[in-house]
Amino acid sequence: MAVLPIRIMGDTVLHSPASPVGEIDDEIRTLVADMFETMDAAPGVGLAAPQVGVPLRIYTYSYVDDDDQPWRGVLINPVLWMSPPEPGAPDPDEESEGCLSFPGERFPLRRADRVLVTAVDLDGASVRIEVDGWRARIMQHEFDHLDGILYIDRLSDGDWKSVQKIARKRGWGKPGVSWMPGVDDLDA
């Protein structure tokens, strides 16, 4: 297993729809193992294949709930259904999220509270996940990556302007920029 470099917001693979996975072979299994290692090293609660430069419809997730119950898995070729988000502005204390492809920052974003995801796992078995709350947010965030959407693309105009300033200051926003979890110091 290996930690992979995570692409930053300007990389073209992050802004294009990912392709479906055909056969689940050893190459896909190795990719998924590397994605789990990368996600854990970052650390993150989810990681989509495009974030590590692979334009395939795969994402991993890992979350420990308020009862210390782990929730971890991989979804291949997922399909997402969601309830409509509540109207209004997001609560910055309850509805902020971050992204490993725009590391070190968090912004408020309104998401649907309930989702249903169907997919297959590494064995090709059907998976059906129906969740709400933070887990629903993770599913929506990672699914967006598979369609070439970053959460910063969904922000309000004011927050979008802040994102642009941060990206210019850090030299992000262009193809080929990445960071290595466990190696790069992004707080500098």
117 has a pLDDT exceeding 60: yes
Which helix (H) or strand (E) covers residue 97, if one does? strand 96-99
pTM: 0.94
Q: Which two three-digit tokens encode residue 85?
A: 């988000």
pLDDT at position 188: 40
120 exposed, middle or buried (CB, 10 Å; 0-12, 13-18, 19+)?
middle
Q: Which residues are catalytic?
A: 142
Structure confidence at residue 174 as a pLDDT band (50, 70, 90): confident
Gap between the Cα atoms of 58 and 134, Å rounded: 20
Judge contact between 102 and 149, C-beta under 8 A: no
Give me the sign of the Cα torsion angle 155, 160, 163, 167: positive
Gap between the Cα atoms of 10 and 25, Å rounded: 30
Structure confidence at residue 184 as a pLDDT band (50, 70, 90): confident
Structure confidence at residue 187 as a pLDDT band (50, 70, 90): low
Gap between the Cα atoms of 29 and 46, Å rounded: 17
